Amino acid sequence: MTRLFRVLGAAFAALVGLFLIAPVAVTVASSLTATSYVTFPPQGITLRWYAEVFQKPEFLSSFALSAGVALAAAAVSAVVGLAGGLAIHRYRFPGRAALEAVLSSAFAVPTIVLGIGLLQWFAQMGLASSPFTLLLAHLVLTVPYAVRLVLAGLAGLDRSAEKAAAGLGAPPFLVFWHVTLPAVRGALIGGAFFAFITSFDDLTVALFVVTTDLQTLPVRIFNYMQYDYDPTVTAIGTLMVLFAVVAVVVIERFVGVAKLFGADTQERS
């Protein structure tokens, strides 16, 4: 009886695994099809669709825009997140409670509502859409994660090393540079990478901020899909999956992916 349950359990877990990877596996496989329509299993093997991707300048410029904004969002989020995390963790200052409340409620507001709010606010301020406004919009999505990770990094930090350094006469900046910063480095790198992915993948907010000349890659793909249904998109998809895999490996190496989502699967050793 228990044996039967074990087999059933394993079979069920395998099915769930299949369900989880199905859309990605199918995307990767069908990007190789020789047919001009998307099909699975692929018929024939060709790299033609990858060549097509690189011949479409609009996709390349969208990629450049997305990557540039995402890099900037990652850098700014890391710096703002580090400063904000340190401030919340170590100082009492006017507005601290409000800042904490806003940071945690930012997750709860639907991105579509944030997108339309930003659209109306930017219009009221007379800000025309540009890579800069796109960056500003993405910071709202990425900074909370960076602060959250820095706070998690600081919570696990033993302050006696800092006190020892200060007691031995190191000025505050050196204490920060040689003791505090290395301790939260993993959290900071993880936060930056996550900020990069979030910004790079965002469709909802970007849809409201972009114009026809200024489309991020997800917006470009979304618009392209409304009219065309060909394997070029699956080829781009595969490239983006590869991109995500690299990012996940890096995050996993520095912080652990599960931690980003507030769960530590190694809790039980």
Q: Which of residues 188-247 bind another protein (CB under 8 A)?
A: 197, 200-201, 203-204, 207-208, 218, 221-222, 225, 229, 233-234, 236-237, 240-241, 244, 247
Single out the residue of 34, 45, 252, 253 in contact with another protein (rule: CB under 8 A).
252
Nearer to another protein among residue 23 and residue 182 (C-beta)? 23
Q: How far is the CB of 180 from another protein (least distance, A)?
A: 10
Ramachandran category for residue 95: left, alpha or beta (phi over 0 → left; psi -120 to 50 → alpha)? left
| Number of residues in the chain | 269
Match 């910063």 to its residue by tokens.
181
Q: How far is the CB of 77 from another protein (least distance, A)?
A: 10
Interaction between residue 269 and another protein (CB under 8 A):
yes
Measured between alpha carbons, how far is 142 from 192 in angstroms, rounded to an integer?
A: 9
Cis? peptide before 41, omega within 30° of 0: yes
Part in contact with another protein (CB under 8 A); list of ranges 45-53, 56-64, 182-190, 257-265: 257-265
Nearer to another protein among residue 57 and residue 95 (C-beta)? 95
Cβ atoms of 143 and 81 within 8 Å: the answer is yes
Taking CB under 8 A as the criterion, which residues in 10-49 touch another protein? 10, 12-13, 16-17, 19-24, 26-27, 30, 37-41
3-state SS, residue 71: helix
Measured between alpha carbons, how far is 207 from 214 in angstroms, rounded to an integer?
A: 10
Neighbouring residues of 253: CB distance < 8 A, sequence distance ≥ 6 = none
Q: How far is the CB of 85 from another protein (least distance, A)?
A: 9
User: What is the distance, to the nearest Å, from the Cα of residue 243 to the centroid of all Cα atoms in its chain?
Assistant: 12
User: What is the distance, to the nearest Å, from the Cα of residue 151 to the centroid of all Cα atoms in its chain?
Assistant: 18
CB atoms within 10 A of CB 202: 25
Interaction between residue 128 and another protein (CB under 8 A):
no
Single out the residue of 34, 45, 51, 102 in contact with another protein (rule: CB under 8 A).
102
Interaction between residue 261 and another protein (CB under 8 A):
yes
Single out the residue of 103, 134, 187, 195 in contact with another protein (rule: CB under 8 A).
103
Interaction between residue 68 and another protein (CB under 8 A):
no
Measured between alpha carbons, how far is 139 from 144 in angstroms, rounded to an integer?
A: 9
Q: Count of residues binding another protein (CB under 8 A)?
A: 102
Neighbouring residues of 1: CB distance < 8 A, sequence distance ≥ 6 = none
Measured between alpha carbons, how far is 74 from 251 in angstroms, rounded to an integer?
A: 13
Cβ atoms of 247 and 197 within 8 Å: the answer is yes
Taking CB under 8 A as the criterion, which residues in 144-173 touch another protein? 147, 159, 162-164, 166-167, 171-172
Nearer to another protein among residue 12 and residue 54 (C-beta)? 12
Q: How far is the CB of 47 from another protein (least distance, A)?
A: 18
Nearer to another protein among residue 9 and residue 182 (C-beta)? 9
